[in-house]
Amino acid sequence: MVKPTPNPPESEAESTTHRTSRLHLNPAILKNNAPHNPSTMFTIAPGIDTESLLAHACESLASASVMASDFATFLDGPQRSMLLGIQQVIMLADLAVNRALDNVAPLD
């Protein structure tokens, strides 16, 4: 039986296999001893309290849920279903953040 696609060049296949086996057999190669320095482009001020962070996250998730729901009205079929599924995940995250916010600052 004839294959519809040719085999990759031997050198590429060998190098991929060698690289994969090296990483699998020696996981220390993957570790980097240098500290992770995240970008400071979008930094949240370190002094902001947990309640404010949760409130902002809650508002952002609620907005994302509404935007996804509104955008879904312009779609049909599988794309609409996928976007509504994403909207449901956002809504569930919003509920979780709301519960965390209630735990941090219970309503009296």
Q: Alpha-carbon distance 89 to 86, whole Å? A: 5
Of 32 and 51, more confident: 51
pLDDT at 59 over 70: yes
Give residues with Cβ within 8 angstroms of 102, minimum separation 6.
Answer: none
Helices (H), the chain: 10-25, 50-72, 77-104
Give the pLDDT of residue 60: 95
Give CA torsion, residues 59, 64, 65, 70, to 10 deg: 130
Give the pLDDT of residue 14: 54
Give the pLDDT of residue 40: 81
> What does pLDDT average to over the chain?
81
